[in-house]
Structure 1
Amino acid sequence: MNPSEFNSFIVILIYGSLVLLSFLKLANPLKVNRKANFCFGIFLFLWSTFWMDEVLFLITGSVVEFQSLFLVRFIQFLTPVFFYFSVLFYTNPSFTFKITDLKFLVFPIAFLICLWCIRLGYNTPFEYLSIMLILAQALCYTGISYITIRRHQRKIQQFSSNTEGIDLNWLEYIILVLFMVNIIYVMYNLFYNPTSLNFFINAIFLLVVYCVGYYSLKQKEIYPLEENQRKELISINEDSDLEEVKRKLISDEELFKIKEQLENIMAIQKPYLDSELNLIRLADMTAVSTHHLSYVINTGFEKNFFQYVNEYRVEYAKLLLKESNSKLSILGIAYESGFNSKTSFNTTFKKITGQTPSEFKKTGSDL
């Protein structure tokens, strides 16, 4: 198989994988993250159309200017918009569009006007303008998607003690990879023959598509399915972004009382050993509202929920690691301490103690 045939094979794999994956996301057999998966499915289908010219050429044997069609160009322009909408619904499934969200139409309307002018024969100036709009929209939505994901990663630490699987890291990495690949492609187009880069770019995109498929299909529900609980947690997240987080929700006496009660529960009942512990469960145990408990942890202990719970887990793990007669492996100790993976255990343990669990165990055994 020569390089040209191999590149054609990769193109078919990319297109077929994207179309299949888009239908899987739209069908959403697990019924999780419904709005997010619907938007992500549309994004994947629109993304697949960028390889349609090559696929049609392989099928018909002649050049088909599929992407030059008026409607196709406009629909493809919406690809980064639907990616951003999927990020928006992953991070906030209760999001609803308001009148102010008409701002999302600014780029598409401007692009539609450009396309119409090109159709009327004003090719040169509006072709350049359309390219600038494509780049501007791609950069704009890529940027705000990345910022939204980073903000989400901080927010979930307000209510979840284990963020692995709900932090949307895979979307963040995909954004960074696509951004770098596009920069390479643009630079290569400016200084070299772009056709010589097709195989490399398509090979990278194929790997990205498979990674997207793997991580998007295993993405679990981020927020509780119960609507009231979901809205309660999202409202706490919104409050945590305000500068006046430390405004008094309760009196100092009540704050001290809940702090003391919480410390007793953590010491006696050890709820942190439950890997699924979240703010709602701990609030039920303390018989206070999630807002008040979040306030007590943030203000009274000057930590977020994730830090507060995982410090207890690390202290418990340190006791297990010091036991000379313990037959538990590092992974076993991680699970016993309330962590749900060895990776999160190692990362959290080192962040708090400055050592990995293995290093801590070795240091303890040397004493």
Structure 2
Amino acid sequence: MSASELNNFIVILIYGSLVLLSLLKLANPLKVNKKANLWFGIFLFLWSTFWLDEVLFLITQSTIEVHSLFLVRFIQFLTPIVFYFSVLFYTNPAFKFKISDLKYAVLPVIFLVSIVLVEFRFYTFQYVIIGLILFQALFYTGLSYFTIRKHQRKIQLFSSNTEGINLNWLEYIILIIFIVSIIYTIYNLSYNANSLNFFINLIFLLVIYFVAYNSLKQKEIYPVEEKLREELISINDDSETEELKRKLISDEELVRIKVQLEELMNSQKPYLESELNLIKLSELLSISTHHLSYVINTGFQKNFFQYVNEYRIEHAKKLLKDNTKLSILGIAYESGFNSKTSFNTTFKKFTDQTPSEFKKISSGL
């Protein structure tokens, strides 16, 4: 098989994979992250249109420039913003569009007007179109990235295990596509970009399979119960600072709950439950989630994730020192972690050592 034939095969795989994955996300058989998966499915379908020219050429053996069609150009322009909407709903399933969100239509309207003017031979607007495409892509890619980073900070306020709900895979997609796009643009300016098509398409195929694997196993990020979901969503990463500035409870009540919390953690050891979150811990103490968050933030100067995982790490240290029968994975599960990866990452973060390094030093080897 020649390089050209191999590239054609990869193009077919890319287009077919994106369309199939799009249909799976739209069907959403697991019924999780419903609005996010709807927008993500639309994004995948729009993304697939970028290979439609090549697919049609392989079928008809004649050049059909679908990307130059008025409607196709417009819907392709919407790809970055649709991706951003999916990120919005992944990070906040309660998000609702408001009148003020008409601002998202500004760039598409300007783009639509520009391509209409170009159709009527106002060719100077071609530069406006190129500028809008670049700006929209960079702006919404960047906005999506910072929204995910904000989400990763936020979930530490109510979850003790962030693996599986931190949306790392979306962050990686953004970074990979951004890097590949830069390489392709630089190469296109200096060399014949066609010689790079095979490698770029191969990278995109691998990215698509990475997307498929992670998006299909993405579990519900927030509780399905509306009341619980709204309670957690209302605890945002800005509230940590705000709550420190204003007292939610008196100093005496703060001290009382702080002591009660420490007694509970030492006696009942709720941190050994891998799915422990702010709601479950607040129920054990019979206080509101906002009050518990305030106590942890103000009384211990930590977020929920840090507070719970310090107990887990201390428990793991004891097992690493004293227990020679359990494996590292066994100790991870016994300490409340739900995977070896999250255990290693968190242990390293808190101690500057891996569990294996700590065990080796503790045993004097």
Pick the TM interval, shorter chain. Answer: over 0.9
Residue 337 of structure 2: which of 339, 348, 354 is its match? 339
Secondary structure in 1 matching 2:248: coil
Number of the residue aligned with 2:42: 42
Secondary structure in 1 matching 2:164: coil
Number of the residue aligned with 1:290: 289
Number of the residue aligned with 1:86: 86
Q: Distance in 2 between matches of 1:267 and 1:157?
A: 21
Secondary structure in 1 matching 2:234: helix
Matched letter for residue 308 of structure 2: V
Secondary structure in 1 matching 2:96: coil
What value does the CA root-mean-square deviation take over the aligned residues?
Answer: 1.1
Is the contact between residue 272 and residue 309 of structure 1 (CA under 8 Å) also seen in structure 2? yes
Q: Distance in 2 between matches of 1:354 and 1:225?
A: 36
Q: Distance in 2 between matches of 1:239 and 1:270?
A: 29
TM-score of the pair, normalised by structure 2: 0.98
Q: Distance in 2 between matches of 1:362 and 1:169?
A: 31
Further displaced range: 24-33 or 242-251: 242-251
Number of the residue aligned with 1:274: 273
CA offset digits 1:87-144 (Å, max 9, x no partner): 0000000001111111100110010011100111112x11111011000000000000
Number of the residue aligned with 2:110: 110
Please list every run of 5 or more consecutive structure 1 residues that lacks an aligned counterpart in the other structure: none
Identity %: 74
Q: Which runs of structure 2 are paired with 1:117-196 in the superposition (5 Å)?
A: 117-123=117-123, 125-196=124-195
Secondary structure in 2 matching 1:223: coil
Q: Distance in 2 between matches of 1:251 and 1:149?
A: 35
Is the contact between residue 160 and residue 306 of structure 1 (CA under 8 Å) also seen in structure 2? yes
Moved over 2 A (4+): 238-246
Q: Distance in 1 between matches of 2:237 and 2:321?
A: 41
Secondary structure in 2 matching 1:31: coil
Number of positions where the alignment pairs a residue of Structure 1 with one of Structure 2? 365
| Structure 1 residue 243: Cα displacement | 4.6
Number of the residue aligned with 2:307: 308
Q: Distance in 2 between matches of 1:241 and 1:83?
A: 29
CA offset digits 1:55-89 (Å, max 9, x no partner): 00000010001111101100111000110000000
Q: Distance in 2 between matches of 1:214 and 1:191?
A: 35
Q: Distance in 2 between matches of 1:105 and 1:241?
A: 33
Is the contact between residue 50 and residue 67 of structure 1 (CA under 8 Å) also seen in structure 2? yes
Further displaced range: 137-146 or 230-239: 230-239
TM-score of the pair, normalised by structure 1: 0.98
| Structure 1 residue 347: Cα displacement | 1.2
CA offset digits 1:186-215 (Å, max 9, x no partner): 111111111111111111110110000000
| Structure 1 residue 247: Cα displacement | 1.3
Matched letter for residue 162 of structure 2: T
Q: Distance in 2 between matches of 1:122 and 1:198?
A: 32
Number of the residue aligned with 1:226: 225
Further displaced range: 22-31 or 339-348: 339-348
Number of the residue aligned with 2:326: 328
Further displaced range: 134-143 or 353-362: 353-362
| Structure 1 residue 237: Cα displacement | 1.5
Number of the residue aligned with 1:60: 60
Q: Distance in 2 between matches of 1:29 and 1:239?
A: 35
CA offset digits 1:307-365 (Å, max 9, x no partner): 000000011111111115x3100100000000011111111112112211111111111
| Structure 1 residue 240: Cα displacement | 2.5
Q: Distance in 1 between matches of 2:22 and 2:195?
A: 29
Change (3 A) 1:281 1:241: closer
Please list every run of 5 or more consecutive structure 2 residues that lacks an aligned counterpart in the other structure: none
Q: Distance in 1 between matches of 2:87 and 2:28?
A: 16
Number of the residue aligned with 2:263: 264
Is the contact between residue 150 and residue 237 of structure 2 (CA under 8 Å) also seen in structure 1? no
Q: Distance in 1 between matches of 2:255 and 2:238?
A: 21
Number of the residue aligned with 1:355: 353
Further displaced range: 184-193 or 290-299: 184-193
Is the contact between residue 239 and residue 245 of structure 1 (CA under 8 Å) also seen in structure 2? no
Change (3 A) 1:244 1:337: closer
Q: Distance in 2 between matches of 1:34 and 1:9?
A: 33
Secondary structure in 1 matching 2:223: coil
